[in-house]
Amino acid sequence: MANVTILDVIGTKRDGGELSTEQIRWFIENFTAGSVGDEQASALLMAILLRGMTPSELATWTTAMIDSGERADLSALGRPTVDKHSTGGVGDKISLPLCPLVAACGAAVPQMAGRGLGHTGGTIDKLESIPGWSPEVAGSDYARQLRDVGAVICSAGAQLAPADRRMYALRDVTGTVESIPLIASSIMSKKIAEGAAALVLDVKFGSGAFMTEMGRARELAETMVGLGEANGVRSAALLTDMNTPLGYNAGNAIEVTESVEVLAGGGPPDVVELTLALAETMCELAQIDADPASVLASGAAMDKWRSMISAQGGDPDAPLPTAPHVERIEAPSAGHVTRLDARAVGEAAWVLGAGRARKEDPVSASAGVRWFVRPGDRVAKSQLLFELHTEDPERIPAAREALESALVLGDAAPEPTPLIAERIG
Ligand code: URA
């Protein structure tokens, strides 16, 4: 690769050409090693955002990102392996009931998850509200927990696609996040390196999603499924509606409580519906003959949850943190709920302390928003609509402002819309 220079790589993409395998591998290797500077990498990322990538460039780019670290080999586990990834939404706590449920169906679920940034919460942040629970799992404990319990949710180690760690941080500050090839390769390099044989993607569209337009979400889903299949990972995606937040809670501890309700056989219907649909798809791809609904009803998923939390130092019976300040918002008039805007709810939860603005910021375990009605419900004047939970009462006015137009009341209930719009793959 002696002849490749960063200026040639940038120039090729800037002028609309196709990067060669050699150029891509050279760039990812040298970027990971730190010998390509941020300003030059940013120029290339912007050229990719503007010019796109051909399928062959994208496949090479993703493989090079995987090869910047190690691809785990889980073939010795003796159980089918399958994971799920969500592109992130408001109130999206699905991994919490889903991973133990799929483990109870007979699979091993190796989920390396992240902390949240912006208005969508991170799975690790939610689980960290459980006293004692740790996201750090050493290599030998990881394999043992996967074998004995069947599910691990933990932070990614340094060897998982390290090229992405630096690239994602750079994209975040250079306006280059919103590129389908860059998003798809970022997500899939990490998921493929994790080592599961099958993967189900929950790709969200709507106001609270990363991709607001359904067409773009579909394109992202198709791209990711294609990358998974090309790398020997059986993959499928569900396109799901994130115009309305999931369940009745957005925050950390309050979402854990709602997830435990699902594992106990209750919980909000939409959370149960999505958990079961993803579990069925995961079992199908993992070639496991199980019925997730009956496994959930049997209590076996709750048993797995308890083992999964205890194995990482958590006490599944410990009371979760509660917020010292709770503010109520009531209905100004009677009517039917025609809209509950996911983005506004996510922003309010974020303002209250449940989310972070920069990746090094702490989050509050007890902060968040609870809502008590959903689109289609009839409300009476003065009925309780929202509760705002926070450790810091000075945050309440901004959260109230974020929620001002979140809930729309009309004369008639809207036509119901499906939560799961399409399956891809
Ligand atoms: N999540 C990721 O991991 N990468 C992206 O590029 C976007 C969302």
The residue whose CA is least distant from atom 5 of ligand 1 is 183
Assigned CATH topology for domain 325-410: Aldehyde Oxidoreductase; domain 3 (3.90.1170)
Share of the chain above pLDDT 70, in %: 99
Domain ranges of the chain: 6-52, 75-311, 325-410
Is 6-52 CATH 3.40.50.2300?
A: no
**Long-range contact pairs involving 130-139 (C-beta distance under 8 Å, separation at least 24):** 130/256, 130/309, 130/314, 130/315, 130/316, 130/318, 130/320, 131/314, 131/315, 131/318, 131/320, 132/313, 132/314, 132/315, 132/318, 133/309, 133/312, 133/313, 133/314, 134/312, 134/313, 134/314, 135/312, 137/312
Asked whether residue 2 carries a pLDDT value surpassing 70, the answer given is no
Q: Is the CB of 187 under 6 A from ligand 1?
A: yes
Measured CA to CA, the distance from residue 228 to residue 256 in angstroms comes to: 30
How does pLDDT run across 75-85, given as a tens digit for each residue?
A: 999 999 999 99
Asked whether residue 204 carries a pLDDT value surpassing 70, the answer given is yes
Using the 8-state DSSP alphabet, how is residue 78 labeled? S
Q: Is the CB of 201 under 6 A from ligand 1?
A: no
Q: Is the CB of 235 under 6 A from ligand 1?
A: no
Measured CA to CA, the distance from residue 30 to residue 37 in angstroms comes to: 9
Q: Which atom of ligand 1 is nearest to the CA of 171?
A: 6
How does pLDDT run across 224-272, given as a tens digit for each residue?
A: 999 999 999 999 999 999 999 999 999 999 999 999 999 999 999 999 9
Q: What is the rounded average pLDDT of the residues 206-222?
A: 96
Share of the chain above pLDDT 90, in %: 91
- Tell me, in angstroms, the distance from the centre of ligand 1 to residue 187's CA: 5
Q: What is the rounded average pLDDT of the residues 294-316?
A: 98
Q: Which residues are catalytic?
A: 85, 164, 171, 186, 190
3-class DSSP state of 45: helix
Pocket test for ligand 1, best of 58, 177, 201, 223 (most atoms within 8 A of CB): 177
**Looking at this protein, which amino acid is placed at residue 336?**
H
How does pLDDT run across 27-39, given as a tens digit for each residue?
A: 999 999 999 999 9
Q: Bridge-partner residues for 407, per DSSP?
A: 340
Asked whether residue 321 carries a pLDDT value surpassing 90, the answer given is yes
Asked whether residue 46 carries a pLDDT value surpassing 90, the answer given is yes
Asked whether residue 189 carries a pLDDT value surpassing 80, the answer given is yes
* Arithmetic mean of pLDDT over the chain: 96
Angle, CA 263 vertex, CA 262 and CA 264 arms, to 5°: 90
Asked whether residue 148 carries a pLDDT value surpassing 70, the answer given is yes
Q: What is the rounded average pLDDT of the residues 326-332?
A: 98
The residue whose CA is least distant from atom 7 of ligand 1 is 183
Strand 151-155, strand 384-390: pairing: unpaired
pLDDT given for residue 195 in this prediction: 95
The CATH number that domain 75-311 falls under is: 3.40.1030.10
Least confident stretch, 196-210, 215-229, 264-278, 349-363: 349-363
pLDDT given for residue 119 in this prediction: 72
pLDDT given for residue 139 in this prediction: 84
Q: Nearest to residue 342, comparing CAs of 93, 125, 119? A: 119
pLDDT given for residue 1 in this prediction: 61
Q: What is the rounded average pLDDT of the residues 276-304?
A: 98
How does pLDDT run across 104-136, given as a tens digit for each residue?
A: 999 999 999 877 767 777 999 999 999 999 999
Sign of CA dihedral 13, 16, 22, 24: positive
Asked whether residue 52 carries a pLDDT value surpassing 80, the answer given is yes
The backbone torsions φ and ψ at residue 65, rounded to the nearest 5 degrees and listed phi first, read -65, -40
Measured CA to CA, the distance from residue 26 to residue 30 in angstroms comes to: 6
CB 301 within 8 A of CB 101: yes
Q: What is the rounded average pLDDT of the residues 149-168?
A: 93
- Tell me, in angstroms, the distance from the centre of ligand 1 to residue 320's CA: 30
Q: Bridge-partner residues for 235, per DSSP?
A: 199
pLDDT given for residue 291 in this prediction: 98
